[in-house]
Amino acid sequence: MRFLKGVANVLAQSTLDSEALEGLFLKRTVLLTTPLWVVNTRLKLQGAKFRNEDIVPTNYKGIIDAFHQIIRDEGISALWNGTVPSLLLVFNLAIQFMFYEGLKRQLLKKQMKLSSLDVFIIGAVAKATATRLTYPMHTVQSILRFGHHRLNPENRTLGNLWNTLYLLYERVRRFGILGLYKGLEAKLLQTVLTAALMFLVYEKLTAATFTVVGLKRAHKH
């Protein structure tokens, strides 16, 4: 209960204006970068062998050719496949910082200062929690970005919310709930250590900044 109260206090501190601006910035970033991620995913998976016969093999000569073929064969809207999961994954960062600040406050109630190990561990735990909660969206995002299936001509738009929900349902139906978490181990190794180090550097820089500011104020007085 104390942890939940701490989380609630963290959320209460943010203003509506800052939330609106941050949300607008993240949405624009997603919309601008999704075409690049779609092409990146297609190029990485090019030449891979798939058991699924519904997947059409691709042959891209490079980034420009990939853009050209996607627009020609699937329409320009295909460049934004996976936009809905990408927008929903914005909550990953919110969950990560929410848990980090909550755990940090709980530790600071028991001790005066956090050690580097404390920061590293709670940063890792916060990121691992956020990744586990949002990983199904990563799975659907990858499927939508690849998107090179033999689709019904009447339903070629892969980026909408209904297709996201449908893919989640199909994934669970065919592979069970664990089908939504395939590749989770690799994702955790990729993101957890990075986030833990990021929080550690962040805390060190913040402490150093406050120390410098405090010294300057002391000299002025």
Closest residue by Cα to residue 175 from 130, 132, 143: 143
Task: Compute the Cα dihedral for 16, 21, 27, 33 and give only its sign.
Answer: negative
Q: In angstroms, rounded to a whole number, what is the distance separating the alpha carbons of residues 118 and 202?
A: 13
Closest residue by Cα to residue 180 from 145, 131, 137: 137
Any bridge partners for residue 188, and if so which?
Answer: none
Give helix then strand counts, H and E, for the chain.
8, 0
Going by C-beta distance under 8 Å and a sequence separation of 6 or more, which residues neighbour residue 88?
134, 137, 164
Quick one: DSSP state of residue 112? S
55 phi/psi in degrees, rounded to 5: -85, 130
Please report, for the domain that includes residue 148, its CATH number: 1.50.40.10
pLDDT in tens, 61-101: 888 998 998 898 888 888 888 888 888 888 888 899 999 99
Going by C-beta distance under 8 Å and a sequence separation of 6 or more, which residues neighbour residue 72?
none
When divided into structural domains, the chain yields a total of 1
pLDDT tens digits in sequence order for the chain, 221 residues long = 554 444 445 444 443 344 445 555 667 787 888 889 888 888 887 766 665 555 566 778 888 998 998 898 888 888 888 888 888 888 888 899 999 999 999 998 888 888 889 999 999 999 999 999 999 998 888 888 877 554 444 444 445 677 788 888 888 988 889 889 988 998 998 899 999 999 999 888 988 887 777 655 554 55
Quick one: DSSP state of residue 54? T
100 phi/psi in degrees, rounded to 5: -60, -50
Q: In angstroms, rounded to a whole number, what is the distance separating the alpha carbons of residues 79 and 52?
A: 22
Q: Give the pLDDT score at 15.
A: 36
Can you give the residue range of the structural domain that contains 130? 2-220
